[in-house]
Amino acid sequence: MGKRVSLTQYLVEQQRMHGHIPGQLRLLIEVVARACKRIAISVNKGALGDVLGSAGTENVQGEVQKKLDVICNEVLIEANEWGGHLAAMASEEMDGIYLVPNRFPQGEYLLLFDPLDGSSNIDVNVSIGTIFSVLKKPEGHTGVSEGDFLQPGHQQAAAGYCIYGPQTTLVLTVGDGVAMFTLDREQGSWVLTQDGVKIPEDTKEFAINMSNMRHWAPPVKRYIDECLAGKEGPRGKDFNMRWVASMVADVHRILTRGGIFMYPWDKREPEKPGKLRLMYEANPMGFIVEQAGGAATNGLQRVLDLQPGKLHERVSVILGSKNEVERVTSYHVDAAG
């Protein structure tokens, strides 16, 4: 086996050689990665750790929280509040922003996270994950408000996710490509296992919740109909379908072997732009996917260019292999006429 590169070494080298990572950002990423190790231990214990099942509470979006949703949220806050690198945090599981308490020094970054993505898979022992996004606090004023978080995704300083699956893998971008680190449980360390991750531009695999088909908008229906028509249809090739119902797992597969992921707007709740959240899911995943050569849109616009109007904003998401995302996007443009 060749020389092992740890997460710390990778970050130090990024800082030293490419000037990508200021010291505070490096510390922040290391702390998030450490919190993910703790979460991995809880996830792994499952029934033995009494972490399965419902917490009996609801989050701001009216979704029933699982015990692990609550535990993971606490782990991330406790790990990050004292280090001096953050000004505030926001989470899918909290109503408003969380200010770093006065007893700790304030840093210049803002951290956003979905502490445990794919909650419906927790109790059935299927891959789940933690997604995070890092923004710089706007300069020119003291204190932090929710408005400071409302920055378009292209301003992210870093983004990543940790997938708790057969392996525990941390996937990271600081705007210089995408790197993957596998957790070595014996050593307790993150080891670089893939750098310069690239999503193939073409694919024969799509991921969408087909049970919503009757509610889709015409451009989405058109794209999937064409995939389903296979070799005999306009695409001239057979497609395969996968849907894990954990965005982290679906995106991880796409980073590894290509594919397109869609959670589009649908007619079930027409006033909602989509199910997934812009700040905790679409932006970090969009940043990672673009850094790996893929694309992410809401059907008409690049996800990373959307100006968020509120913290828990929802969005329609189409991301993955570039040529397929561009095709679906062009169908939306055609339909918008």
Stretch 195-234: interaction string toward ligand AHM, x if CB under 6 A: --------------x-------------------------
How many amino acids of this chain bind ligand AHM (CB under 6 A)?
13
The reply, when asked if residue 246 is annotated as ligand binding, is no
Q: Quick one: which segment of 49-57, 110-118, 215-223, 300-308 binds ligand AHM (CB under 6 A)?
A: 110-118
Q: Which phi and psi angles does 272 have, rounded to 5°?
A: -90, 130
Query: Which residues lie closer than 8 Å to 110 by C-beta, 6 or more apart?
Result: 86, 87, 88, 89, 90, 134, 135, 136, 137, 144, 148, 149
Spatial neighbors of 212 by CB under 8 A, at least 6 apart, are 266, 268
Residue whose CB is less far from Mg ion, 52 or 245 = 245
Q: Is 109 an interacting residue with respect to ligand AHM (CB under 6 A)? A: no
> Could you tell which of ligand AHM, Mg ion, none binds residue 99, using a CB distance below 5 to 8 A set by kind?
none
284 belongs to the binding site for ligand AHM (CB under 6 A): no
250 near Mg ion (CB under 5 A): no
For residue 324, state whether it binds Mg ion (rule: CB under 5 A): no
Query: Per-residue DSSP letters for 282-332?
Result: IHHHHHHHHHTT-EEESSSSBGGG---SSTT-EE-EEEESHHHHHHHHHHH
CB of 312 to ligand AHM, least distance (A): 11
Residues 328, 223: contact at Cβ < 8 Å? yes
Task: In angstroms, give the least distance from the CB of 332 to ligand AHM.
Answer: 20
Residue 117 sits in the site that holds ligand AHM (CB under 6 A): yes
Q: Among the residues of 96-211, which ranges form H helices?
A: 146-149
> Binding residue per annotation — 117?
yes
Binds Mg ion by CB under 5 A, chosen from 69, 117, 266, 290? 117
Measured distance CA(144)–CA(277) in Å, rounded: 22
Sheet order of strands, 128-136 included: 98-99, 86-91, 109-117, 128-136, 158-164, 168-173, 178-184, 189-194
Does 330 carry a binding-site annotation? no
Per the document, the length of the chain is 337
Helix (H) / strand (E) element for 112: namely strand 109-117
30 is in an annotated binding site: no
Q: How far is the CB of 327 from Mg ion (least distance, A)?
A: 26
- Which of 13, 30, 63, 326 is in the footprint of ligand AHM by CB under 6 A? 63
Chain residues binding ligand AHM by CB under 6 A are 63, 92, 114, 117-120, 209, 245-247, 263, 275
